[in-house]
Amino acid sequence: MMWLVSLIGKCLVFLSRRLGGGHGSALPGLVVEKLSPHFLGLLLAELPEGVVLVSGTNGKTTTTKIVADLLRADGYRVFTNPSGSNFARGVISAALPVMRRGRLGADIAVLELDEAHATHFVAQVKPRYSLLLNVLRDQLDRFGEIDQTARLLSYVAEQTTDVVVLNADDPRLSQLGQSDQLTARPAWFGASGEASQLYRTDEELHTSQRAKRSKGAAENVLTLDRLTDRRAQYLIDGKRYTTELRLFGIYNALNCGAALSLVRAVEQDRFDPRRAVETLAKIKPAFGRGEELSLAKGTVRLILVKNPSGFQLSLDSAEAQPTLIAINDRYADGRDVSWLWDVKIDSLRQDEVSVTGIRAYDMALRLEYDQVAPRLVEPDIVVATESFLDRLLEGDGQIFATYTAMLKIRQLLLARQSREEKR
């Protein structure tokens, strides 16, 4: 039965791509779910090393990629969902093209799951390992309030069988390690030393008070100890390891620490911290998450933003250079954009700033309240992006964009890159 359902799914994947659905289409997964409700559970149950589930408000796609890359470097055959389609049917859609004779041919699955959809996933598949990154104010029109997001992730932690890796500096996650409902062993990641001054939790963003770590987290945590430009230092089991990073910003350096803690839990005695940290230096950003695209006039960095904490940390890590901000309010972005008013934007006063997207005028108003005068306010993303790129002259630029805006702008950047290469 599995092979027949997977064959139908493969045909749908082929048709979806021919019709322009792309790699991220969830339609084949939806059809397979209807034909065989237990398909995903049966498929993943065959993996000898089980399933790693990565969830949280920010950093899921990037951290999933880092974990997968680290494990592959150590010889693991890894299945993952790289498209960012982070719910069960999206995982199925990612699996169908790589299946052979109804099997994945992998040792371990490393899967990004949306906070809400993760609860449905663990009802079908009990992960051996979970990595819970953070709980931030994000898409409150969808999740209701921040404690609801915490409750969703706590359920994921309770359904994990072996190890759950928690953010020691996030008060809503740190306390999960003390829960009587937790059967998995807790492990920790966080920021320490100089790096702790660069990273701000959701609580700090709103109250300026850093939460205390729980007792377990304080005693045994893998930390990002220092970050200078793109050189990061990690404290692992009492020893310091330093590496260059190709990933942008303090939050990605912290995501690397989270990935190291997870891989250490998976590999146990086989984990070599020096080799793992050296591998970090080779890992490129996930698409649109600090991704750098080289154009004739310079390099453009594309940065996904979708909530106040993520946007603030991105701004804090950014350089002074021409900037485009693209804000949409479609379902995938979050309908409510009031979070823009929680972000301190005055660091952009020295930059040439352009604004685009469905909510371009809302963003422009927000900028003006922080005395940032935008050069261009243009809701049409195509027009605004082309204008921004034309004005780069010789130098680099940065683009902050919500999800659907990021996808469109990335498409435009790749198209321009292709045109320039053909000249």
**pLDDT tens readout for residues 113-136:** 988 889 989 998 999 999 999 987
- pLDDT attached to residue 153: 93
135-139, 197-201, 334-338, 381-385: which is most confident:
381-385
Helix (H, G, I), strand (E, B) or coil at 200: coil
Confidence of residue 23 (pLDDT cuts 50, 70, 90): very low
Q: Which two tokens stand for residue 151?
A: 């409750």
Higher pLDDT, 107 or 5: 107
Measure the CA–CA gap between 261 and 271, rounded to whole angstroms: 10
Outline where 305-393 has alpha helix (H): 308-317, 360-369, 381-390
Q: pLDDT tens-digit profile of 151-188? A: 899 999 999 999 999 999 988 898 888 888 899 999 99
What is the phi/psi pair of residue 419, to 5°?
-60, -40
Specify whether the CB–CB gap between 266 and 363 falls below 8 A.
Answer: no
Domains along the chain with CATH numbers: 2-280 (3.40.1190.10), 289-422 (3.90.190.20)
Question: How big is the chain, counted in residues?
Answer: 423
- pLDDT attached to residue 216: 59
Beta pairing, strands 289-295 & 298-304: antiparallel
Specify whether the CB–CB gap between 140 and 309 falls below 8 A.
Answer: no
Number of H helices, E strands in the chain: 17, 15
Helix (H, G, I), strand (E, B) or coil at 31: helix
On the 0-12 / 13-18 / 19+ scale of CB atoms within 10 A, 247 is: buried
- pLDDT attached to residue 175: 85
Measure the CA–CA gap between 182 and 160, rounded to whole angstroms: 8
Confidence of residue 308 (pLDDT cuts 50, 70, 90): confident
Confidence of residue 100 (pLDDT cuts 50, 70, 90): confident
Q: pLDDT tens-digit profile of 271-289? A: 999 999 999 999 999 888 9
Give the closest residue to 109 by CA, choosing from 91, 122, 93: 91
With pLDDT > 70 as the criterion, what percentage of the chain qualifies? 87
First to last CA, the chain: 52
Q: pLDDT tens-digit profile of 185-229? A: 999 999 987 778 777 666 666 655 556 666 556 567 899 999 987
Higher pLDDT, 174 or 256: 256
Cα-Cα-Cα-Cα torsion 123, 106, 1, 18, nearest 10 degrees, comes to 100
On the 0-12 / 13-18 / 19+ scale of CB atoms within 10 A, 4 is: exposed
Q: Which two tokens stand for residue 295?
A: 């154009």
Beta pairing, strands 185-191 & 222-228: parallel
Token pair 């990690």 is at which residue?
234
pTM, whole model, 2 decimals?
Answer: 0.88
Confidence of residue 98 (pLDDT cuts 50, 70, 90): confident
**Average pLDDT, whole number, for the chain?**
87
Give the closest residue to 285 by CA, choosing from 252, 327, 329: 252
Q: What would the mean pLDDT of 39-62 be, rounded to a whole number?
A: 92
Q: What would the mean pLDDT of 32-58 be, rounded to a whole number?
A: 88
Instruction: Report DSSP state, residue 372.
Output: -
Give the closest residue to 374 by CA, choosing from 357, 393, 360, 354: 354
Give the closest residue to 240 by CA, choosing from 232, 248, 230: 232
